[in-house]
Amino acid sequence: MANARKKRLMQEALDESLEIAARQELFQQLDRDPAEAAEYQRLLMVDRMLRTAPFERAPKTLAMNIMARLAETLKQPQLSHLSGLALALALSLVTIVLVPLLAGAAWLFLNAIGSAAALSALMHTIGKLLALVMAGIDTLVEGAQVLLETYPQTPALMIAILPVMVFWLVRSMGNRPSDSSEAS
């Protein structure tokens, strides 16, 4: 008799839901194996003890406390203040990049209104460009989420590096030769 099947038969016998043929098979097996018979006797004693134990009602607040603790453990992890700040910073940078693109697209759109064919081609190109930008943003966000899950300290690092990046950009913009010096 398989171990799992034997335990199931013992449990069904204790629950008094075992058919007569299966019950006879179980008791024959127990007669042949004293270790299994001892196990069944222990289960029988525990079953009798539980059936005769006094029934106590749990306090009404117990279920509420258990449910509250379960709700706390099942909550979605909240973004920390630093993560929220990094997300806001990333969205700001994306906006800064996209505003000039959208302004250029609007200018092209207004200039192409004079020709239906040019307008159609422009709208098709703008649609492709926007799809490409959206795919890039989607990839960027997915990468940022993976990076944040792998390295939770990333937002702090980004905030620490941001002033250096801005300083470097300002300095590199100041080192450009002006148009008037190129002419001479």
DSSP for 58-75?
PPHHHHHHHHHHHHHHHS
The mean-pLDDT minimum among 4-18, 98-112, 130-144 falls in: 98-112
pLDDT at 81: 66
pLDDT at 88: 80
Highest mean pLDDT range out of 7-11, 72-76, 82-86, 179-183?
7-11
pLDDT at 184: 46
Q: Are 108 and 94 in contact (CB under 8 A)?
A: no
Residues 122-145 have a mean pLDDT of 86
Q: Is the pLDDT of residue 167 over 80?
A: yes
pLDDT at 111: 73
Domain ranges for the chain, please list them: 1-53, 81-174
Query: What is the pLDDT confidence band of residue 41, given thresholds at 50, 70 and 90?
Result: very high
- Token look-up 């966000």 returns 141
What does each C-alpha distance from 62 to 54, 58, 65, 73 come to in angstroms? 19, 7, 5, 17
pLDDT at 159: 79
Q: Quote the crossing angle between the two packed helices 116-150 and 154-174, to the nearest 10°.
A: 130
- 89 membership: H or E segment, kind and range: helix 81-112
Q: Is the pLDDT of residue 182 over 60?
A: no
Residues 67-71 have a mean pLDDT of 81
Highest mean pLDDT range out of 56-65, 74-83, 109-118, 171-180?
56-65
Residues 52-80 have a mean pLDDT of 76
Q: Is the pLDDT of residue 143 over 50?
A: yes
- Token look-up 């913009």 returns 173
pLDDT at 128: 92
